[in-house]
Amino acid sequence: MKSPAPAHRRHFIALVAAGLVLAGCKPSDDAGKPGAASTGAIVVGEFASLHGSEAAFGQSSHKGTELAFDVIRSNGGLLGREVRLITEDNQSKAGESATIAKKFVSRDHVVAVLGEVASGRSLEAAPICQAAGIPMISPSSTNPKVTEVGDHVFRVCFTDPFQGKLLADFAWKSLKVRRVAILADTASAYSVGLADFFRQPFVAAGGTVVTEVKYASRDKDFKAQLTAIKAAAPDGLCVPGYYTEVGLIVKQARELGLTVPIFGGDGWEAPQLIEIAGSEALKNTFYSTHFSPAQDNPAVKAFVAAFKSKFNEVPDAMAALGYDSAMALAEAIKKAGSTDPAKVTAALAATDFVGVTGRTKLDAQRNATKPAVIITVENGGFKFLQTVEP
Partner 1 sequence: MRFPKSQLWLALALVVAGVVSAFSGRINDYFLDVALGAGINIVLAVSLNLINGFTGQFSLGHAGFMAVGAYTSALMTTTFASRLLPLVGGQAWILFPCALLAGGLLAAVAGIAVGAPSLRLKGDYLAIVTLGFGEIIKVVLQNIDVVGAARGLYGVPAHANVFWVFGLAAVTVYVVWALVNSTYGRGFLAVADDEIAAEAMGLDTTRYKVTAFVVGSFFAGLAGGLYAHLKGYINPTGFDFNKSIEIVVIVILGGMGRHVGVVAAAILLSVVMEPLRRFGDYRMILYALLLIVLMLTRPQGLFVWRSGRGTA
Q: Which residues bind partner 1 (CB under 8 A)?
A: 1-2, 4-5, 9-10, 13, 17, 20-21, 23-24, 28, 50-51, 87-89, 91, 93-95, 98-99, 102-103, 105-107, 119-120, 123-124, 127-128, 143, 145, 149, 186-189, 191-193, 216
Round to whole Å and give the CA distance between 163 and 266: 9
Least Cβ distance, residue 16 to partner 1 (angstroms): 8
Residues 6+ apart with CB under 8 A from 303: 67, 315, 320, 323, 356
Torsion-angle region of residue 278: left (phi > 0), alpha (psi -120 to 50) or beta? Answer: left
Distances (CA, A) of 136 to 234, 327, 328: 42, 13, 11
Backbone angles phi, psi at 286, to 5 degrees: -145, 145
Q: How far apart are CA 131 and CA 140, in angstroms?
A: 22
Strand arrangement of the beta sheet that strand 208-215 belongs to: 208-215, 179-185, 236-238, 262-264, 285-289, 372-378, 381-388
b/e per residue 33-64 (b: at least 16 CB within 10 A): eebbeeeebbbbbbbbbbeebbbbbbbbbbbb
Cα gap 265→289, rounded to integer Å = 6
Minimal distance, residue 193 CB to partner 1, in Å: 7
Instruction: Output the smallest distance, CB 88 to partner 1, in A.
Output: 6
For partner 1, the closer of residues 20 and 364 by Cβ is 20
Residue 254 contacts residue 276 (beta carbons within 8 Å): no
Nearer to partner 1, 23 or 364 (CB): 23
CB of 249 to partner 1, least distance (A): 18
Helix or strand holding residue 374 (H, E): strand 372-378
Indicate the residue among 47 and 170 with the shorter CB distance to partner 1: 47
Give the CA-trace dihedral at 388, 212, 56, 44, to 10 degrees.
60
Q: Which is nearer to partner 1, 24 or 80 (CB)?
A: 24
The kind and range of the H/E element at 276 are: helix 272-277
To the nearest whole angstrom, how small is the minimum distance from the Cβ of residue 218 to partner 1?
A: 11
Instruction: Specify the residue, 95 or 257, whose C-beta has the smaller distance to partner 1.
Output: 95
Between 25 and 364, whose beta carbon lies closer to partner 1?
A: 25
**Residue 53 beta carbon to partner 1: minimum distance, rounded to whole angstroms:** 9
Angle between helices 96-103 and 119-132 (to 10 degrees): 30
Q: Which is nearer to partner 1, 155 or 370 (CB)?
A: 155
Tell me the closest approach of the beta carbon of residue 286 to partner 1, in angstroms: 25
Residue 187 or 294: the one with the smaller Cβ distance to partner 1 is 187
Helix (H, G, I), strand (E, B) or coil at 46: strand
Specify the residue, 89 or 324, whose C-beta has the smaller distance to partner 1: 89
Q: Which is nearer to partner 1, 61 or 292 (CB)?
A: 61
Number of helices (H), then strands (E), belonging to the chain: the values are 12, 15
Q: Measured from the CB of residue 86, what is the shortest distance to partner 1 in angstroms?
A: 9
Q: Cβ of residue 175: shortest distance to partner 1, in angstroms?
A: 28
What minimum distance in Å lies between the beta carbon of 180 and partner 1?
22
Angle at the Cα of 106 (from 101 to 110), degrees rounded to 5?
Answer: 70
Q: What is the CA radius of gyration of the chain?
A: 23
**Residue with smaller CB distance to partner 1, 55 or 294:** 55
| Sequence-distant (≥ 6) Cβ neighbours of residue 222 within 8 angstroms | 183, 215, 245, 248, 249, 252, 253
Phi, psi at residue 264, to the nearest 5°?
-160, -165
The CB-of-339 to partner 1 minimum distance in angstroms stands at 20
